[in-house]
Structure 1
Amino acid sequence: MKAQLTRRTLLTTGVGSLLATHPLPALTQASPLRLAFIPQENPDKLLGDIEAISGWLSQELGVPVEGFVTIDHAAAVEALRNGDADISFMGALPFVLAEAEIGAVPLLSEVYRGKPYYTGRIFVRRDSGITSLADLEGRDIAFADPISESGYLYPLAEFKRAGLIAGIDEAEAFFGRIFFAGGYQQAMQAMAQGLVAAAGASQYADLLLTPQQQPQVTWIAESPEIPSHVVIARPGLDADLRARFVETMLRLNEPVHRAKLQYLYGPDGYVPADPEAFEAVRDMAREAGLLS
């Protein structure tokens, strides 16, 4: 059965975590530390992952930790702005927007294949007959999120680089329809199941398909390097708690804890975030009219 595709999908509810035994000395924290996650993959799986990692963080930090899934990146930024979230896992583009709008602070960057950066790609089915970006004129395409770097702006910029569109404003005229599927996995499934001709997503998004589907898809364009997804905090979060959180998350790089990375979208590990690494993303956001 084919999944239904809409411009906004997959609103899910929050989940709480339980305090584990033998916590570290407790910090002064009147309310739980609230973590916002974006729906890059199947939300049902993500909810289970959140419960598992929140429980571990509660144990290590000695404070209650709760996590919830937002509708999309924009909702995660709003949650930070409103104080409904203290920390969020998100892409580089929504981070630079949150930085400009609310003074969000970058804490950690994901590492994949030994590097704190990755690319965006345009994926198609191998049997589609599509071999170039020009072949997608008049065809439908799914992107992950309108404020995603690897799931929208960077892959879309490849059409501009190829001379097919002059800018974002011309994209609607080039394609048949543009859909925002709500996450990498949803966009990839839409393409793999034939709901759209192509998908714009992270270079690793094909790993979110089933083992049977993965050999059936390929990519036809790849963006320049993009800083990896980042973990950010609202500006008013207690500095001591923020530092303890970073220290605890970096312990996931240790062999004894590495298996827990599967609960956080599956990176190889984390490194402290470098604010200067996002300058090219800031430039991209300005070019797209998202930053002044």
Structure 2
Amino acid sequence: MLLTPGTPADARRRYKPVQNLINGEVDGVDVEMQVPTDYSAIRPALESEQAEIGMDDITLLSKPDIMDVYGTTVTGGSAFYFSLMLVQPGSDIQERTDIEGKEWAFADRLSTSGSIFALYTLQEAGLDIGDAPKEDPVDFDATFTDHDQALQRLANGEAVGATTWGGNGIPHLPEGTEVPDRVNENSSFLDTMGTETPQFEPIWWSFPIPKQPMYARSSWDSDKKAEIGEVLRNSDQDLIKQYYPEDYNEEELPFTTLRDTSLEDYQPIIDRMDTVGVDPAA
């Protein structure tokens, strides 16, 4: 099972209940978790049959005919998450156009929430993004790392702002921060506000983005493939809780169950990839 690229130790800890769930509920299965170096490493691993299960939208959209979709992950009762842009409290950067001539920290170049959605909205605001995310933008400077490092660059003053996803960014917002209604209605991370330091302030939120899908490679010829899908779709909070490791922080949980979805649910992501010039099949 290939996890979302990021800090390996953190990713493995967060997904340990999912690993335990599958191993505990499906006889004869021993799931191992791997954290790819970046998103571009995922599809080759699936195509070469070095992995069976993945969970990111970019890879799914890049070649959907080689994947069987299990569904969209649900956490805290929501199947949606957000991309957001953060700055230091009191920053002069209060609007997207204020980024012009400054340095901005992004996550992985192919991250939906940490790169593509932000580049799309900056271009929509009138900034020249050049050939980003593949190359450097024109109207501002950019670094592409991962979600955690993007926030670290902001904290260290190496960038005037950072783009990340709600589960990573919302804990760094001061408790009681006002959010748009769409965020209030769809985010499952609002109760984590004020739990992480340093604290930042948001200047932009995306619309609700379908959370990451879980899928299996189509060439995986095993009756366990369908059985794993049934376990994931029929899971709930009570069941997954039985598989928490000792001292597990429930706020980190990236999964309680799956919502039945199709590629059509991810069309807004495809549209934004097209607009910023990212070909997922490339």
> Is the pair's TM-score, using the shorter chain for normalization, greater than 0.5?
yes
The residue aligned with 2:254 is 266
Between stretches 227-236 and 103-112, larger displacement belongs to 103-112
Question: What TM-score results when the alignment is normalised by the length of structure 2?
Answer: 0.77
Structure 2 residue 115 is matched with structure 1 residue 152: yes
Structure 2 residue 44 is matched with structure 1 residue 60: no
Instruction: Tell me the CA shift for residue 113 of structure 1.
Output: 4.8
Q: How does 1:1-292 map to 2 (within 5 A)?
A: 35-40=1-6, 42-50=7-15, 53-62=18-27, 63-90=29-56, 92-99=57-64, 103-165=66-128, 168-169=131-132, 172-176=137-141, 178-182=142-146, 184-207=147-170, 209=172, 211-213=195-197, 216-238=199-221, 240-258=223-241, 260=243, 262=250, 265-287=253-275, 288-291=277-280
What stretches of structure 1 of length at least 5 have no aligned partner? 1-34
Is 2:108–2:144's contact at 8 Å kept on the other side of the alignment?
Answer: yes
Is 2:105–2:161's contact at 8 Å kept on the other side of the alignment?
Answer: yes
Is 1:36–1:70's contact at 8 Å kept on the other side of the alignment?
Answer: yes
Distance 1:72 1:53, change over 3 A: same
Residue-by-residue CA offset, 1:3-57 (whole Å, 9 max, x unaligned): xxxxxxxxxxxxxxxxxxxxxxxxxxxxxxxx011234x4223234455543442
The DSSP-based 3-state class of the residue aligned with 1:232 is strand
Residue-by-residue CA offset, 1:50-88 (whole Å, 9 max, x unaligned): 555434422221122211111121112221111111001
The residue aligned with 1:28 is none
Distance 1:160 1:171 in 2: 13
Is 1:185–1:205's contact at 8 Å kept on the other side of the alignment?
Answer: yes
Considering only aligned residues, what root-mean-square deviation do their CA atoms show, in Å? Answer: 2.7
Instruction: Tell me the CA shift for residue 254 of structure 1.
Output: 4.3
Distance 2:37 2:20 in 1: 23
Distance 1:89 1:276 in 2: 17
The DSSP-based 3-state class of the residue aligned with 1:250 is helix
Distance 1:265 1:148 in 2: 20
The residue aligned with 1:10 is none
Instruction: Tell me the CA shift for residue 241 of structure 1.
Output: 1.8
- The percentage of aligned residue pairs carrying the same residue is 22
Is 1:94–1:147's contact at 8 Å kept on the other side of the alignment?
Answer: no
Distance 1:212 1:280, change over 3 A: closer
Distance 1:257 1:161 in 2: 41
Instruction: Tell me the CA shift for residue 277 of structure 1.
Output: 0.7
Distance 1:199 1:113, change over 3 A: same
Which is bigger in relative contact order (C-alpha 8 A, separation at least 6)?
Answer: 2
Distance 1:74 1:263 in 2: 28
Is 2:18–2:240's contact at 8 Å kept on the other side of the alignment?
Answer: no
Is 2:70–2:229's contact at 8 Å kept on the other side of the alignment?
Answer: yes
